[in-house]
């Protein structure tokens, strides 16, 4: 049985090896972030007057707050869909033969091998008024008038869930693969049925994977600018597009900067909730 | 103390299993185990022991044959309805549950209330002598302690049969002996019909009422430890259980109880025909255990030259090369200052008694 301290020691040497990456981050991540923060502390577009006006504006403006809220909600919905659909696939992966495993991995990874723009347009073709779903349902006589699928919250969630699915499934596969298969058998021989075994043994022991998957999916879903904008269309506004409009179209850089800082903090808050949960559940991982 | 549960009988009736890959893991096994017996399933690695155990537990559906527990044919019952307790080789404790939750797991699955569960798990932890460990996690326990918990967990559901798959293989020698005694004690107390899988013949002989010896998926012999050790029915059993010298020879004359055999090593000895009457003139393999050979002074027995002598504590083992070039081991009790045999000394050897040499027809 692996013990945690042995792997912890790895961080105690070789910090110098991380220097190139650290420099890279310093120049291309930390510096722009500092500049962004500096810019957000100005009350006018020209950046001459210091003040917290941009933040006050955002936090007192119902429209801005609703954009933030719907973005965080979108992330939660996409994450939930990925978890509910992804878990059975990861579970199945651990129970089939090697040939089926290859096929499952291929299908799961396929979205990563195509451009996000192409994938998103594919969803437009599928969800549109004359799209594949509506055409099929109409020709089967199930519906008379086309359903509105594109440019809806439902459409965005489904398209994003498909795009982010690998981020959920891969950590789940790893976590499920680490569970000793004898535990299933032990549970069963002690009289537990498959559902009890799942909820009392498999699910708790896969929690580290669930949390890793949720963190990745969530972070990716709320920042997915292209899919959000193309499938969501003009009616729905999420933080990335809001930010883009303020910066590019309206040239209001201080406000755009404040939006990014607030968005960043909101995302960090959600992610740190996930990681705290992860740390609590890590206690289970020593299987 | 656990009330005796009057273990149920277990019948393995002509069970054969072929894996989908085509491997014939278990072939026509018949075992008739009485309630309360402790049975060892002994055989080398890969002979099908785990497969048979998993068939009895219900994890594998056998290709042919029946499993009967008590009066019930259980072939159609899933593992969670067979009331068979298993202790896995790696213990398979639930790493995220405390020791008492592990022990009470089967009771919770049966819908037993929390208070009873707690009382039961405490009683079982006392039974396996770990009453103070209830709140710990499995990984905070040593291997031997984890094994005791695994036992308590299996016993908690009051199983009709207890199965243990190589339970002591991962323990060091002293701990292994402790646990063997512990399991035997628990088995006596609870009276549960118990099947222990092992590849360690000493373990099988010391713990079991009867031993089933398996080789390549087939049952070689099923009998008491002394049957298996003293009256082996096959050449495999004779050489796998305990150590044995194999000496080729030809049958000079034979009846049902005794055979005169001319050994290739150069002597005529009387041996016990292990598988019924031998045909005169047929080639045989004679098995003689090292402790059943003696040095003889006269012209009986066969000649050899001493190679190496190994003092192994209570006994001394000498390696002797016979006239036909094969090696023979002879072990002697170490009584006082045993006469050291020099390497190269010429000696003559003979079995202690005719019944202690077993003759098997030579397989081609
Ligand atoms: N899941 C499996 N699929 C195919 N063959 C198997 C499987 N499990 C075991 N075997 C084969 O069946 C035989 C018996 O295995 P096993 O019952 O594990 O033996 P033992 O427990 O005595 O070491 C071996 O030859 C093994 O290779
Ligand atoms: Mg085995």
**Over the stretch B254-263, which tens digit does the pLDDT of each residue have?**
888 889 999 9
DSSP conformation letters of B171-183: S-HHHHHHHHHHH
Three-state secondary structure readout of B12-49: EEEEEEECCCCCEEEEEEEEEECCCCEEEEECCCCCCH
Q: B220 with B198, same domain?
A: yes
The CB of B50 under 6 Å from ligand 1? The reply is yes
Instruction: Give the orientation angle of helix B143-156 with respect to helix B173-190, to 10 degrees.
Output: 20
| pLDDT under 50: residue ranges of chain A | 1-7, 285-287
What pLDDT, on a 0 to 100 scale, did the predictor assign at position A4?
44
Interchain contact B111–A (C-beta under 8 A): no
* Contact criterion met (CB < 8 Å) for A284 and B81: no
Q: B220 with B80, same domain?
A: yes
B60 CA → ligand 1 middle, Å: 12
Structural domain harbouring B28:
10-235
- Would you write out chain B's pLDDT as a tens digit for each of its 364 residues? 333 456 899 999 999 999 999 999 999 999 999 999 999 999 999 999 999 999 999 999 999 999 999 999 999 999 999 989 999 988 999 999 999 999 999 999 999 999 999 999 999 999 888 999 999 999 999 988 999 999 999 999 999 999 999 988 888 888 888 889 989 988 988 899 999 999 999 999 999 999 999 999 999 999 999 999 989 999 999 999 988 999 999 999 988 888 999 999 888 899 999 887 788 889 999 999 999 998 888 777 888 999 888 888 888 899 999 988 888 999 988 776 556 677 888 888 988 888 889 999 987 5
Interchain contact B92–A (C-beta under 8 A): yes
Is B48 in contact with B205 (CB distance < 8 Å)?
no
Give start and end residues of each alpha helix (H) in B140-242.
Answer: 143-156, 173-190, 201-207, 225-230, 235-240
CATH number given to A52-281:
1.10.3720.10
The CB of B48 under 6 Å from ligand 1? The reply is yes
Chain B residue numbers touching A99 (CB-CB < 8 A): none
Chain A residue numbers touching B106 (CB-CB < 8 A): 190-192
Query: CB atoms < 10 A from the CB of A276, how many?
Result: 11
Task: Round the average pLDDT of chain A to a whole number and report it.
Answer: 88
The CB of B25 under 6 Å from ligand 1? The reply is yes
> Dihedral of CA B107/B108/B111/B112: which sign?
positive
Question: What's the CATH number where B121 sits?
Answer: 3.40.50.300
What three-state secondary structure class fits B128? coil
The residue behind tokens 């491997």 is: B23
A105 CA → ligand 1 middle, Å: 28
Q: B219 with B326, same domain?
A: no
Q: B321 with B211, same domain?
A: no
Report the C-alpha gap between A285 and A3 in whole angstroms.
10
Task: Please give, rounded to a whole number of angstroms, the shortest distance from the CA of B351 to a CA of chain A.
Answer: 49
In a domain, B5, yes or no: no
Tell me which of B235, B256, B285 is where a domain ends: B235
Interchain contact B110–A (C-beta under 8 A): yes
Q: B144 with B79, same domain?
A: yes
* Contact criterion met (CB < 8 Å) for B92 and A201: no
B337 CA → ligand 1 middle, Å: 49
Report the C-alpha gap between B197 and B49 in whole angstroms.
6
Q: B68 with B209, same domain?
A: yes
Tell me which of B190, B213, B235 is where a domain ends: B235
Q: B261 with B331, same domain?
A: yes
**Global pTM exceeds 0.90:** no
Q: Which two tokens stand for residue B315?
A: 């006994």
Interchain contact A95–B (C-beta under 8 A): no
Interchain contact A180–B (C-beta under 8 A): yes
In a domain, B250, yes or no: yes
Indicate the residue of B59, B93, B95 with minimum beta-carbon distance to A284.
B95
Indicate the residue of A190, A284, A287 with minimum beta-carbon distance to B109.
A190
User: Could you say which ligand is closest to the alpha carbon of residue B54?
Assistant: 1
Report the C-alpha gap between B262 and A105 in whole angstroms.
67
* Distant-in-sequence, close-in-space partners of B313: CB < 8 Å, separation ≥ 6: B334
Q: Which two tokens stand for residue A87?
A: 């878990």
- Interface test with chain A among B90, B91, B96, by most A beta carbons within 10 Å: B96
* Contact criterion met (CB < 8 Å) for A180 and B153: no
Question: What's the CATH number where B322 sits?
Answer: 2.40.50.140
What three-state secondary structure class fits B102? helix
Q: Which long-range contacts (CB under 8 A, 24 or more apart) does A265-271 make?
A: A266/A68, A266/A72, A267/A219, A267/A222, A267/A223, A270/A72, A270/A75, A270/A218, A271/A215, A271/A218, A271/A219
CB pairs under 8 A between A and B: 76
What's the maximum distance between 2 C-alpha atoms anywhere in chain A?
73
What pLDDT, on a 0 to 100 scale, did the predictor assign at position B337?
59
Report the C-alpha gap between B52 and B39 in whole angstroms.
13
Tell me which of B235, B266, B283 is where a domain ends: B235
Chain B CA closest to residue A204: B96
Report the C-alpha gap between B271 and B269 in whole angstroms.
6
Q: Whose alpha carbon is nearest atom 20 of ligand 1?
A: B46
Chain B CA closest to residue A4: B139
Total of domains in chain B: 2
């Amino acid at each position: 049985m692996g013990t945690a301290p042995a792997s912890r020691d790895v961080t105690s040497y070789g910090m110098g090896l991380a220097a190139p990456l650290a420099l890279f981050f310093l120049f291309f991540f930390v510096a722009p972030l500092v500049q962004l923060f500096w810019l957000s502390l100005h009350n006018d577009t020209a950046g001459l007057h210091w003040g917290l006006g941009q933040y006050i504006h955002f936090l007192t403006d119902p429209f801005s707050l609703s954009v933030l809220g719907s973005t965080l909600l979108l992330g939660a919905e996409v994450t939930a869909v990925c978890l509910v659909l992804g878990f059975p696939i990861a579970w199945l992966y651990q129970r089939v033969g090697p040939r089926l495993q290859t096929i499952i991995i291929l299908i799961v990874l396929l979205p990563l091998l195509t451009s996000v723009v192409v994938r998103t347009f594919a969803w437009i073709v599928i969800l549109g008024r004359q799209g594949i779903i509506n055409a099929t349902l109409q020709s089967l006589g199930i519906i008379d008038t086309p359903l509105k699928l594109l440019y809806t919250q439902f459409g965005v969630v489904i398209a994003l869930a498909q795009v982010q699915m690998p981020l959920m499934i891969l950590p789940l596969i790893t976590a499920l693969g680490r569970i000793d298969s004898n535990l299933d058998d032990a549970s069963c021989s002690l009289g537990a049925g498959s559902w009890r075994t799942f909820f009392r043994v498999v699910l708790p022991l896969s929690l580290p994977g669930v949390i890793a998957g949720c963190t990745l999916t969530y972070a990716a879903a709320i920042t997915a600018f292209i899919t959000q904008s193309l499938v969501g269309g003009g009616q729905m506004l999420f933080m990335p597009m809001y930010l883009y409009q303020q910066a590019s179209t309206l040239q209001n850089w201080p406000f755009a900067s404040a939006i990014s800082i607030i968005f960043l903090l909101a995302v960090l808050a959600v992610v740190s909730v996930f990681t705290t949960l992860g740390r609590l559940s890590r206690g289970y991982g020593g299987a | 103390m656990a009330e005796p549960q009057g273990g149920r009988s277990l019948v393995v009736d002509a069970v054969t299993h072929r894996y989908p890959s085509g491997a014939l893991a278990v072939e026509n096994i018949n075992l008739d185990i009485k309630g309360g017996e402790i049975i060892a399933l002994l055989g080398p690695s890969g002979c099908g022991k785990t497969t048979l155990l998993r068939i009895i537990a219900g994890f594998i559906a056998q290709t042919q044959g029946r499993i009967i527990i008590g009066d019930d044919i259980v072939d159609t019952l899933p593992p969670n309805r067979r009331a068979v307790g298993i202790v896995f080789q790696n213990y398979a404790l639930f790493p995220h549950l405390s020791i008492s939750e592990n022990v009470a797991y089967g009771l919770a699955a049966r819908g037993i209330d929390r208070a009873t569960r707690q009382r039961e798990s405490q009683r079982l932890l006392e039974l396996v002598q770990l009453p103070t460990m209830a709140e710990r996690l499995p990984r905070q326990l040593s291997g031997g302690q984890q094994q005791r918990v695994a036992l308590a967990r299996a016993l908690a559901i009051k199983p009709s049969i207890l199965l243990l798959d190589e339970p002591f293989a991962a323990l060091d020698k002293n701990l292994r002996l402790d646990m063997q005694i512990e399991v035997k004690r628990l088995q006596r107390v609870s009276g549960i019909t118990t099947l222990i899988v092992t590849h360690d013949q000493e373990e099988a002989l010391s713990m079991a009422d009867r031993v089933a010896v398996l080789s390549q998926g087939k049952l070689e012999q099923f009998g008491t430890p002394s049957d298996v050790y003293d009256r082996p029915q096959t050449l495999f059993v004779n050489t796998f259980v305990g150590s044995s010298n194999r000496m080729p020879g030809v049958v000079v004359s034979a009846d049902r109880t005794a055979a005169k055999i001319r050994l290739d090593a150069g002597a005529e000895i009387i041996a016990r025909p292990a598988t019924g009457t031998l045909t005169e003139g047929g080639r045989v393999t004679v098995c003689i255990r090292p402790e059943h050979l003696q040095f003889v002074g006269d012209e009986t027995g066969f000649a050899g030259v001493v190679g190496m002598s190994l003092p192994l504590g209570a006994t001394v083992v000498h390696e002797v090369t016979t006239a036909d070039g094969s090696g023979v081991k002879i072990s002697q009790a170490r009584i006082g200052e045993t006469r050291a045999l020099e390497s190269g000394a010429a000696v003559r050897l003979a079995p202690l008694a005719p019944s202690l040499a077993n003759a098997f027809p030579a397989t081609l």
